[in-house]
Amino acid sequence: MPPLSYHWRALAGFSSLLIFATLPALAADSPASDLAAVILSLTPRTNLPPEADDPLRPKNIRMAGPSATIRHPYWTDDAGVDDSFGNPYNAYRRSPFGTWSNFDETKANIFPLPELLVMKGGQPVQDADMWRQQRRPEILNDFLTEIYGKIPEDTPKITWEVTVANEPGGVKTKTIVGHIDNSAYPDATPSINLTLTLPSSASGPVPVMVVIPPFGGGNDPNRGATSRGRGAPAGPSPLQQVLARGWGYAVFDAVRLQADNGAGLKRGIIGLMNKGQPRSPDAWGTLTAWAWGLSRSIDYFETDKDVDARQLGVEGHSRWGKTALWAAALDPRWAIVYASCSGEGGAKLLRRNYGETTDNIADSYWMAGNFRKYGGHWNNLPVDAHELIALVAPRPVFVTGGTQDQQADPHGEFMAEVAAGPAYRLLGKKDLGTSEMPAPNVALISGEIAFREHVGPHTDLLDWPVFLEFASNYIQAPAARN
């Protein structure tokens, strides 16, 4: 491990000054290991100056808003603000560790990535069997232990309740509730809630796209006849686009299983398993809990005669994009994954100093407790996002970003997909086919790894048509009844 003074200088050139300014009693010749302990004991920091007075604030930024389109003020730069949607092109934030956002590519790639096809002991991965039997489990264990957290072995029994309704327009809707046995801790009341919409004209079991809607709840604004929401294009909604291909569309209510907040760790499925007590450092965070619920949804689909459980896709946007990608890595029964604008903790490289960074999510309830120790210590991470994407191999994966969503770092997501390519090639599949970032709205969908950066804001709506074009190479519906 490099000396931490060097490590922190690399983080935009200011963090070593930040640390030492707060440690006047620290001896100049303290060992790096002692310094690491001191840093970890102080972070996240509580003695930060006001942002406007912070000497470490980038000099080229200014406060924008509030306005008719921007409800909350942002620090931004001369790239300006997109007034159509109220999104700063570059929204600067200060992390709890005192680090500020960076949007300068020359300062972004400060650490090398872990070798994807090299064992921890240094032995190169020779073939597909070695990948499956040795290297992939090694990578997966690091993600479980250090990044997202482990799933308990004794998760409770689930009893399924299904209500069926035929609706106008030639569709059938099933409301599915997975009742989770909470007798061990009745204060926690998690459940698995799905709404499955099926084309009634299908002649047999249909593929299903399982979607985590905006805000993670069961009220999906895209279930109408047209798309709704920021940046929504004219035309049919994702639900209508999926049904038009003869596939089913399921909505997964993530927050009924595990709330999207830190207080929910004492409730939901995590609280049930811990009986309301704090988590251990390697125990599951919220992203893993949601991914677990998605896998239980597959358990149900495998029993439903209307569903082809061999052709299931999972889609999510933003934090739900992180969830979808992690779910596909954990469970090989997902045939395809669409991770929209997933950013840090998703498809974006964790080591990359651009937009949202590890420092911004280090203390998040999304992650394992162990992940906190990598705040300010990005190069100590045992794995990175290219290895997360590689865990999905050889199955197809579609990653997207937006030109007005630089916080999620579309370029960093693209770089992760490029770096995941060797695993796909090892397994006889095609990678992106290039290491050059494509122009906005140019889709790379000729191989099993696919990418698109749409022109527009933080949304998945603009990329659904391209995803369905890509997915149709792998997913096939039965013939419709006459």
- Cα distances from 450 to residues 41, 158, 423, in angstroms, run 41, 35, 14
- Cα distances from 19 to residues 26, 56, 93, 97, 376, in angstroms, run 10, 12, 19, 9, 10
The dihedral region occupied by 86, where left means phi > 0, alpha psi between -120 and 50, and beta the remainder, is left
Q: Which H or E run contains 270?
A: helix 268-274
Residue 355 to residue 342: CA distance in whole angstroms = 12
Neighbour tally for 332: CB within 10 Å: 11
Which of 95, 318, 340, 342 is labelled catalytic? 318
What residue type is 415 in one-letter code?
Answer: M
Contact between residue 84 and residue 456 where contact means Cβ atoms under 8 Å apart: no
Q: Is residue 414 helix, strand or coil?
A: helix
* CA nearest to 461, candidates 277, 240, 243: 240
Q: Is residue 36 helix, strand or coil?
A: helix
What residue type is 254 in one-letter code?
Answer: A
Residues β-bridged to residue 174: 164, 196
What residue type is 162 in one-letter code?
Answer: V
Q: Residue 272 is encoded by which pair of tokens?
A: 């049930």
Which of 317, 386, 411, 458 is labelled catalytic? 458
Helix-helix angle 319-330:385-392, to 10 degrees: 50
Concatenating the DSSP letter of every residue in 280-345 gives PTTB--HHHHHHHHHHHHHHHHTT-TTEEEEEEEEEEETHHHHHHHHHHHH-TT--EEEEES--TT
Q: Which H or E run contains 167?
A: strand 158-167
Active site residue 458: yes
Residues assigned a catalytic role: 318, 458
